[in-house]
Amino acid sequence: NQKWIFWELDSPQVTWEENPNLERLGSVFNLTSTYDLDSIVPIPFVRTCTAQQVKSPLAVNYAEGKEGRVAWLSFTCQTPSKRESFVEELQKYFPVDVYGFCGNMSCNKLKPDQCMHRILQKKYKFFLAMEDSFCSNVPRSQTLWKIFARKLRMVPVVLGAANYTDLYPNNTFIDARSFNSVKHLALYLKYLDKHDLEYNKYFANRDQPVCGYTTNYSRYLCQLCRHLHN
């Protein structure tokens, strides 16, 4: 009479990749509880926003002293979204330095957040913020949220299935999907690298609220208990 709950925050692609024998457990679970709204008891995500304050691009040149390169920090090298293939393609046309387990660059003993704050934002003009899978309702990239919430001075290049303009001010990030090819994206990055005024406009637009999703666990636990009692 024990109740079993299938609880998962990752996308199905990631889950099945790590646990290929889930099918044999299909008759074990009594209910599903995931980020997806189709779950019996969905895990609720609450939209929260924080105001941003940045200096005018005329007062600060955020491109000064930085290299016209892209940084990518990752510890998962094979993903359902094939973002690693995207990086390999981009490297043909624009320099990309890969930090973490997937490349030969490192921040020594610094933690990922410290690496972004102390090293990457001071050295690079651009940063890759990519999803590990392209699925609907998947929680948005935490890396992108950190760039905005902590006011890191890099222009993020995003790749995912999300509608990023619902969460972040327009013209504060570069959406790779808006280009006809990876080569066209690289040409645009080269253009920004040579035109500081255009590059700085991405920071001027950050004076608007930046939104993200957090989990309301108190509300979720109440819903879960209510369902089990019923």
Dihedral of alpha carbons 98, 103, 104, 109, sign:
positive
Let me know whether 123 and 31 are in one domain: no
* CATH of residue 123: 3.40.50.11660
Q: Which residue has the tokens 């299909």?
A: 26
Residue 57 falls inside a structural domain: no
Closest to 190 (Cα-Cα) out of 123, 96, 108: 96
Residue 223 shares a structural domain with residue 203: no
Residue 33, domain extent: 5-47+213-229
Does 191 share its domain with 118?
Answer: yes
pLDDT, tens digit (0-9, with 9 covering 90-100), for 82-114: 999 999 999 999 999 999 888 888 887 788 888
One domain for residues 146 and 33: no
Query: Which amino acid, one-letter code, is at 24?
Result: R
Q: For 172-192, how does the pLDDT look when each residue is reduced to its tens digit (9 = 90+)?
A: 999 999 999 999 999 999 999
Number of domains in the chain: 2
Share of residues in the chain with pLDDT > 70 (%): 86
Work out the average pLDDT over 186-209. Answer: 91
Is pLDDT above 60 for 139?
Answer: no
For 14-72, the pLDDT digits (tens) are 666 666 677 777 788 889 998 777 889 988 766 677 766 666 656 789 999 999 999 99
DSSP state of 105: B
Residue 23 forms part of a structural domain: yes
